[in-house]
Amino acid sequence: MTAERVVMQVVQESGEIVETPLTEDDLKLTWNKSVCPYCGVGCGVLVGSKEGRVLKVRGDPNHPANYGLLCGKGATLPQMVSPPARQPEAGPSGAGIALGDPLAGGEMVRTPDRLIYPMMRRTRADQFQRVSWEAACERIAAQWRRILHDHGPNAVAFYISGQLLTEDYYVVNKFAKGFLGTNNVDSNSRLCMASAVSGYVTSLGADAPPGCYADIELADCFLLVGSNTAACHPVTFQRIRRRKLAAPNRVKVIVVDPRRTRTAEIADLYLPIQPGTDVALLNAMLHVLIRQGLMDQPFIQQRTTGWEGLQAVIDRSTPEQAAAICGVEASRIREAALMFGKARAAMSFWAMGVNQSTHGTAKNNCLINLHLATGQIGRPGAGPFSLTGQPNAMGGRETGGLAHLLPGHRLIAREQDRQEVERLWNVPTGRIAPQPGLTAVELFRALAEGTVKSVWIICTNPLVSLPNLAVAREALAKAELVVVSDIYHPTETTLLADAILPAAQWAERDGTVTNSERCISYMEQAVDPPGEALPDWRIVCRVAQAMGHREAFAFQTAEEIYEEYKRLTRGRDLDIGGVTYERLKRSPIQWPCPTPQHRSTMRRYTDGVFAHPDGRAKFLAHDYRQPAEVADAEFPMILTTGRVRDQWHTMTRTGKIPVLLRSEPAPFVELNPEDATRLGIAEGELLTIRSRRGCARAACRLTRDIKPGSCFMPFHWGGLRGEAVVNETTIEAFDPLSKQPELKFCAVRLEKVTGDT
């Protein structure tokens, strides 16, 4: 495609937009359309390459997620794919390179730790040896055949990722659920979006947000709960900020977060609630709405069920009662309710402060209750909008990438759903096992206990990102065969593997993703993958074929996979019958889009008909409950965890980009000065953060932006980068319905690191 003379636009933390004009040389590059591979905003990008190297990226001016704007992570993508020269890994450890250089042989590749050949080892004490793809696939297939024979299909498992493309997700699910006969396929999305899925499904009858980004420009109230939008969805945040600044008196912003992050800077009302208390707050807001008569009675009567069942809980959820639980004044809770209730069009956004909780589903339901009670849903500018974390968390949900799902938003537990999928996969009736598989935390427990014998980990680094890492370590130590597909080696996870398989990364392959607003985009391949790296779907197909499933996995292109997957969406709520690669190459499309003539669906439920069998949305009542582990005399502080703006997860990519390391070069633990004084701790002192499960170390940062009694640590820094590994301390307890673990709450003790500890 030809490049237009648009400038590169990057949004800064301050909201300022820095524009860099393109040079004459830039215009001579080959430009391909793609999507940023980081967050769920799903910004369209144009990738400029030359001679097999990605040299420039700029925002796609025509993409509805960002209209040309990028954040700092997106803008530095070329440095991730094609860094200037062989440079040592940034960060304190540098262990990446010391631990056996897989690239010995002098090939020019993109980073020194880029994985470019399949590698295996006989025992964990051995070094990895380069093997051919044929040998790797044969050896994995042979071991799996033995394990399946000796222990049955549930002894093997996949742990995959919301960063895989839709086509990858689809083939993994087909292979595992349709051919191996195991439903043990779960994704890191379980740590991320599972509570939003169960919240939407229980409240509205189907998964995914009703609205779209374009609603931002139409809303006049934003309720942001447990989302550091400024750091984690910067381009969406910029749209909200613009909307607020365009009509500062009319547009109201409410931010609910125990930490005053930069997101709160645009808030009219900031509610620094105690971690874990959102249900109490949201119920009290509904209490006020009812008392003030701000409900939409006709909507409640015609479009919903469960209103009566809610009354007892809401009656006792007074703002005064909530104030005592949440630690914010009753008057401010009233004010929040009135802002929401009086809005012409109100949107709510939420992320991990809501989902990563032992009552994450309840938090989701209570937030959606507010929209149902006021009729703030299914019309322009209104609706409950959960922000997806990863670029294709939504695509994973669509293709059945969780242990209880099948493609096309179908359920393993429903016989009819299983049979439909069996027919389309051309496998005998009964092949898909009727019990849902093990979810992320359960899966690693089962590996540690020895009931699951082998796991294939694809595109995720669980040895940094799972709660309670001691269990995850034990899980991989105990497993008979650990296969890891990654783009780098070593990572904390590849170091514990038996086989490591080199994946092609972003810009080195094609495929599709679905972002937060149900918008499907096609990502063109811009450059060739290095060495023998292959797209993830090809790797899975090769192993499936080595296990004898030749025809079912004979896909030659990503497009063929998409076409097959598409058939499984026919007649479903996410029907994409009208979507083709051809169309997507022209512009992205929001599902459902059932026919070639159908344009795209910006908003769902505009006719007031919801996806439950009776067509009505459901009010669901929940009383506030405490988190799984609360502070006590031995572990008196609450630890919450999360992200910083310029790092992505376990830092395998962003941790290599010097300009991104500049804002937060080192890990830290955030603490209120009140607690620090009491504990005799000074700014910058090294602390041990100890829980019942383990400990992490980091330098202390004093700030009044966090509530006394709580501390915060980012989870980015893993074991290869020192001792600040927060998930050594976190708890595995999970929500009973969504099975999403409580990564935002556990009890800890802070100790100063003295010379002799």
Q: Give the binding site for ligand SF4 (CB under 6 A).
A: 36, 38-39, 41-43, 66, 70-71, 73-74, 233-235
Report the alpha-carbon distance of residue 266 to residue 237 in Å, rounded.
10
What is the 3 state secondary structure string of 4-70?
CCCCEEEECCCCCEEEECCCHHHHCCEEEEEECCCCCCCCEEEEEEECCEEEEEEECCCCCCCCCEE
Site string for ligand MGD, 688-717 (x = CB under 6 A): ---------------------------x--
Please report how close the Cβ of residue 520 comes to ligand SF4 at its closest, in angstroms: 15
Choosing from 26, 296, 417, 536, the residue that interacts with ligand MGD (CB under 6 A) is: 536
384 in contact with ligand MGD (CB under 6 A): no
Nearer residue to ligand SF4 within complex by CB, 41 or 256: 41
Which helix or strand (DSSP H or E) is residue 287 part of? Answer: helix 278-291
Task: Quote the least distance from Cβ 715 to ligand MGD, whole Å.
Answer: 4
Q: Which two tokens stand for residue 32?
A: 């391909």
CB of residue 637 to ligand MGD, shortest distance in Å: 14
Residue by residue, DSSP assigns 559-626 as HHHHHHHHHTTTTSTT--TT--HHHHHH--EESP--STT----S-S-TTS--SSTTS-EE--------
Rounded Cα distance, 158 and 136, in Å = 17
Q: Give the integer Cα–Cα distance in Å for 163 and 186.
A: 13
Our CB check for ligand SF4 shows the closer of 66 and 569 to be 66
Q: Could you say whether residue 259 binds ligand MGD (CB under 6 A)?
A: yes
Cα within 13 Å of Cα(509), Cβ side: 27
β-sheet with 53-59: strand ranges across: 30-35, 44-50, 53-59
159 belongs to the binding site for ligand MGD (CB under 6 A): no
What number of chain residues touch ligand MGD (CB under 6 A)?
58
Figure out which of the listed residues 348, 369, 390, 738 binds ligand MGD, where binding follows CB under 6 A: 390
Site string for ligand MGD, 728-747 (x = CB under 6 A): --x------------xx---
Closer residue to ligand MGD, CB minimum distance, 369 or 569: 369
Packing angle of the helix pair 360-374, 194-204 (nearest 10 deg): 40
Residue 676 interface partner, choices Mo ion, ligand MGD, ligand SF4, none, CB cut-off 5-8 Å depending on type = none
Distance of closest approach, residue 501 Cβ to ligand SF4, in angstroms: 26
| Nearer to ligand SF4 (CB atom), residue 418 or residue 716 | 716
Q: Which does 462 bind (CB under 5 to 8 A by kind): ligand MGD, ligand SF4, Mo ion, none?
A: ligand MGD
36 makes contact, choosing from ligand MGD, ligand SF4, Mo ion, none, with CB < 5 to 8 Å by partner type, with ligand SF4
Q: Which CB, 399 or 600, lies closer to ligand MGD?
A: 399
Residues 32-71 binding ligand MGD (CB under 6 A) are 39
Rounded Cα–Cα distance for residues 431 and 458 (Å)? 24
* Inter-CA distances, 552 with 33, 171, 541, 546, 592, Å: 30, 10, 9, 12, 27
Strands 69-70, 8-11: pairing is parallel
Give start and end residues of each alpha helix (H) in 100-233. 133-151, 166-173, 194-204, 229-232
Instruction: Please provide residue 81's backbone torsions phi and psi, each rounded to the nearest 5 degrees.
Output: -85, -45
Distance CA(27)–CA(299), nearest Å, equals: 54
Closer to ligand SF4 at the Cβ: 43 or 119?
43
Binding partner of residue 652 among ligand MGD, ligand SF4, Mo ion, none, CB under 5 to 8 Å per kind?
Answer: ligand MGD
617's tokens:
């949305």
Provide the token pair at 264: 């709160």
Q: Which stretch binds Mo ion (CB under 5 A): 163-171, 192-200, 691-699, 717-725?
A: 192-200
CB atoms within 10 A of CB 663: 12
Residues across the chain: 757
CA distances to 325, 421, 422, 537, 561 from 174, in Å: 46, 9, 10, 11, 11
Query: Which of ligand SF4, ligand MGD, Mo ion, none does residue 74 bind to, with CB < 5 to 8 Å depending on kind?
Result: ligand SF4
> 718 in the Ramachandran plot: left (φ > 0), alpha (ψ -120 to 50) or beta?
beta
Q: Is 459 in the site for ligand MGD (CB under 6 A)?
A: yes
Span of 53-61, 301-309, 436-444, 636-644 interacting with ligand MGD by CB under 6 A: 636-644
Q: Is 389 in the site for Mo ion (CB under 5 A)?
A: yes
Report how far residue 754's alpha carbon sits from residue 747's, in angstroms, rounded to the nearest whole number.
22
Is residue 486 at the binding interface for ligand MGD, with CB under 6 A as the rule?
yes
Q: Which of residues 225-244 bind ligand MGD (CB under 6 A)?
A: 225-228, 231-232
Distance in Å, CB of 284 to ligand SF4, minimum:
33
Give the sheet arrangement for strand 269-271, strand by strand.
269-271, 252-256, 221-225, 346-350, 383-386
Q: How far is the CB of 45 from ligand SF4 (least distance, A)?
A: 7
Nearer to ligand MGD among residue 255 and residue 289 (C-beta): 255
Cis peptide before 490 (omega within 30 of 0): yes
192 is a contact residue toward Mo ion (CB under 5 A): yes
Q: Quick one: which of 267, 458, 584, 593 contacts ligand MGD (CB under 6 A)?
A: 458
> Site residues (CB under 5 A) for Mo ion?
192, 389
> Site residues (CB under 6 A) for ligand MGD?
39, 161-163, 188, 191-192, 225-228, 231-232, 256-259, 261, 275-276, 278, 351-353, 356, 389-390, 458-462, 464-465, 485-488, 491, 503, 505, 536, 640-643, 645, 647-650, 652, 715, 726-727, 730, 743-744
